[in-house]
Amino acid sequence: MTAGPASSLTQHVLAVDTNAHVTAIGWLKGTAAFGLGDGTIVLARDGETQRVEAHPGAGVLVGLSDGARFLTGGDDGRVAVTHADGSSGTLAETKGAWIDSLAISKTGAFAYGAGKRAIAIDDKGREKILELASAPRGLAFAPKGYRLAIAHYNGATLWFPNVEAKPELLDWKGSHLDIVWSPDARFIVTSMQENALHGWRLVPDKGNMRMSGYPSKTRSVSWSSDGKWLATSGAEAAILWPFDSKEGPMGKQPRECGVRPAKVTRVAFHPNTFVLAVGYEDGCILLIRMVDAAELLVRQALKGSGVTAMEWDAGGKRLAFGCEDGQAGLLTLPT
Amino acid sequence: MSDKIPITVLTGYLGAGKTTLLNRILTEPHGKKYAVIVNEFGEIGIDNELVVGADEEVFEMNNGCICCTVRGDLIRILDGLMKRKGKFDAIIVETTGLADPAPVAQTFFMDQDVSDAARLDAVVTVADAKWLSERLKDAPEAKSQIAFADVIILNKIDLVSPAELEEVEGRIRAINPYAKLHRTQNCAVPISEVLDRNAFDLDRILDIEPDFLEQGHHHHHDEEMQSISVKIDGEVDPERFMPWISNLTQVEGANILRCKGIVAFPGEPKRFVFQGVHMILDGDVQGDWKPGQKRTSKVVFIGRDLNEKAIREEFLACAV
């Protein structure tokens, strides 16, 4: 191992001009889909781009991909679907409600929040609606089985949409924002209004886990491919919580990496190696190899160009990123 | 000034004329584009504006502060609107007639993402000249809305006699002598009197003389809600003043709706300016005392069941 200035991958980045705030990115096999604040989706493939008016006159608030479809929720109250060939359609429509929460499962189901309802539609198109006491925020499907986790005020709800049983409430005071399942489905973690994460150990004991100490809200989290680490944004470094034991991170110190004088806004673990992509509010992007903390520069800091979205393709060969000022890019890892 | 988006909060009891004012703001030829957050669709006659429906979800902050509530839906909507930054110049938040303005105002101080992107410009309250006196008796929300206001639009003055107008204005002044008050019919008021007021900007809290001093004194008292103003003809000791104001807003914060003040510290060339909403206090040294200007210290509080005698004595005890 040699010490020295960070090596650079910047010459392997291809710029994509999206021209509007990048809200979300999804990969459709070899095509990167950028969901934008002006309602369009930019599809980028082999140096060419195509614009799709998925939410005309509105804005993309949230977007997710299952590899074949890019689902976006907008302030036009619609859930739109866009494919790699540029075809686009409407999956769901509400009156007046903004769609800023979405979940998508590998089996073809999807869910969205509208007003105080969570709506789940399974792979056969059967729609189920759950009324909640307060508006649902984050949504996430369990890694296996048709079960939806819903973050909301004062806790989270676990719901089997196709089962009559009463949904299970995980209570914890405060406003819960984003929500994720651990890859082995043993843990649920939410980000909170109070600059902290909260977790529940689902097995064996429903124990609570509180992960605090952040100077700002955490709005991006990412699991390592082996499920042993949860990387999080919200501090002037990526904060990694250890989930390698059945107790979770309780009583353990988190690991910090990519310490810089700028807040981390996005984190994305490589899909099959122990490498973390870290995006900052000042526009900088680093790749960090966790075994030795070696850093590679992907993007220089750029004023007014904070990183707002970052996504690896399924094979881990390319990283797509987007920024608040409408700049975006595709990194192809050198082989 | 920063490039933060100014936000105007529009309050007022049911039927006072909020929607009339909103439509007036939106139809005037000002060349500006507003994003409007409303609690009910359908009442606004404008369709080319960015209009968003809100759920008014009031959340308690999990930080041990009993009156620290925020509007969760507002945080969420602003997060969404920031993705369309540049498409609008300002945001107007209309609250329901029964809403307490505090959670809206507190959202701008409690949530970092919101305060990074936007600034609270002013709380504008529309009051019904004919019915306000009645509402002040039976609706605590109406009282809070008057107490909280930076600008009060006393509307429908054509429906009351001069004596009744005098009466209702006196009641307003008993609660809040500091707000800028406009008497209107159909909310006819220059837009510049409603928007871009910078009422929460510490830089602009230069003059906290009550508005009524210009218009003659009224002799009304409200038994529950009152304003207290204390002045020291000189400087205060920061070692005594800072712990006092901090403790007062913590202990009495639930009852203090708004507070503001300008005080002189010995040896400090700049004025110490502060303002607060319930338990949240925002203060800094801002702007020089001008040569020849008298270095005086003044604090004002608007609140419910405040112990005027204690506040007065304790502030006076901070004098150097």
Q: Which of B143, B118, B83 is nearest to B9 (CA)?
A: B118
Q: Given CB atoms, is B221 within the 8 Å cutoff of chain A?
A: no
Phi/psi for A106 (5° steps) reads -65, -20
Q: Which of A60, A175, A216 sits opposite B72 (nearest CB)?
A: A175
Of the candidates A96, A153, A195, the beta carbon closest to that of B59 is on A153
d(CA A249, CA A230) in angstroms, rounded, equals 10
**Of the given ranges (A248-262, A265-279, B57-71), which has the lowest mean pLDDT?**
B57-71
Percent of chain B topping pLDDT 70: 89
Chain A contact for B116 (CB, 8 A cutoff): no
pLDDT above 50 (res B152): yes
Residues in chain B: 320
Class of domain B5-214: alpha beta
pLDDT tens, B55-109?
788 888 876 676 788 999 999 999 999 998 888 899 999 998 888 889 999 998 8
B230-277: per-residue pLDDT in tens?
999 999 999 999 999 999 999 999 899 999 999 999 999 999 999 999
Higher pLDDT, A50 or B213: A50
Give me the pLDDT at residue B126, please: 96
The class that CATH gives domain B225-316 is: alpha beta
B80 and A193 within 8 Å at the Cβ level: the answer is no
Cβ–Cβ contact B61 with A under 8 A? yes
Mutate one of B39, B71, B75, B84 to test the A interface: name it (highest A CB count within 10 A): B84
The pLDDT of residue B312 is 94
Distance from C-alpha of B289 to C-alpha of B293, rounded to nearest angstrom: 6
Q: Tell me, what's the pLDDT at B211?
A: 58
Average pLDDT, chain B: 87
- Of the candidates A60, A135, A217, the beta carbon closest to that of B57 is on A135
| CB spacing of B76 vs A115 below 8 angstroms | no
Q: Which residues of A, range 123-182, sit inside 8 Å of B by Cβ?
A: 134-135, 137, 153, 173-175
Residue of A nearest to B112 (CA): A216
Q: Residue B290 — pLDDT band, cuts 50, 70, 90? A: confident
ipTM, two decimals: 0.89
- Token pair 């929720």 is found at A73
Q: How many CB pairs under 8 A join A and B?
A: 65
Query: How many Å lie between the alpha carbon of B302 and the closest alpha carbon of chain A?
Result: 29
Q: Is the pLDDT of residue B209 over 70?
A: no
Q: Which strands make up the sheet holding B90-94, listed edge to edge? A: B50-53, B34-38, B90-94, B5-12, B118-128, B151-155, B180-183
Say how far apart CA B260 and CA B280 lie, in whole Å: 11
Nearest-CB residue to B62 (from A38, A135, A173): A173
| pLDDT over threshold 70, residue B218 | no
Contacts for B87 with CB less than 8 Å, ≥ 6 apart: B33, B35, B50
pTM score over 0.80? yes
Q: Could you read off the pLDDT of A63-92 as tens digits, one per residue?
A: 999 999 999 999 999 999 999 999 999 999
**Confidence at residue A257, expressed as pLDDT on a 0 to 100 scale:** 96
The number of beta carbons lying within 10 Å of the beta carbon of residue A300 is 12
For residue B301, pLDDT beyond 50: yes
Mean pLDDT of chain A: 94
Q: A194: distance to nearest CA of chain B, Å?
A: 7
pLDDT of residue B293: 84
Average pLDDT over residues A180-208: 93
Q: Do B84 and A116 touch (CB under 8 A)?
A: no
* Integer angstrom CA distances of residue B34 from B8, B74, B84, B93, B112: 10, 16, 12, 10, 23
Strand order in the sheet with A208-211: A139-141, A148-159, A168-181, A187-192, A197-201, A208-211
The reply to whether residue A21 touches residue B84, judged by beta carbons under 8 angstroms, is: yes
The pLDDT score that the predictor gives to residue B63 is 67
**Chain A touched by B48 (CB under 8 Å):** no
Give the domain ranges of chain B: 5-214, 225-316
